[in-house]
A = this chain, B = another copy of it.
C-alpha cells in the first residue's frame, strides 16, 4: 500500500501505443472521436481513463477496455487510500454476531 503511485494508463499510450503506430496526437484524437485537448491531458496524465474512454481506447487498440480500466482503477484506489489514510483508522472492522 505504501508503494509508489501506480502507472497512469496514459503513459502506456504515450510511450508505447502512439509511437508504435507512428500517428499524430491530433489524428489519434480524431480516430477516438474525442477532442485533441482531452487526449493531450490523458497522455499528460492529468485526465483519468473513464469507463467510456476505456471503451474507446480498447476498441482503437484492439485489446479491449479492461486493461485500461484496471490500470486506472489501481491509481484511483491508491489515491483514495492516501487521502483517507487518517479517516480509515476511525472505521472499525465489523465482527459477525454469530
Chain A interface residues toward B at CB < 8 A: 17, 20-23, 31-33, 50-52, 54-56, 59-62, 65-66, 69-70, 73, 76-77, 79-81, 83-84, 87-88, 90-98
Contact = CB atoms under 8 A, between A and B. Distances in A.
A54 B74 CA distance: 12
A23 B31 CA distance: 51
Given A52-B83, A52-B84, A77-B69, A93 B21 contact: no
A12 to B, nearest CB: 14
A1 B5 CA distance: 31
Contact of A77 (B23, B31, B54, B94): B54
Contacts of A22: 97-98
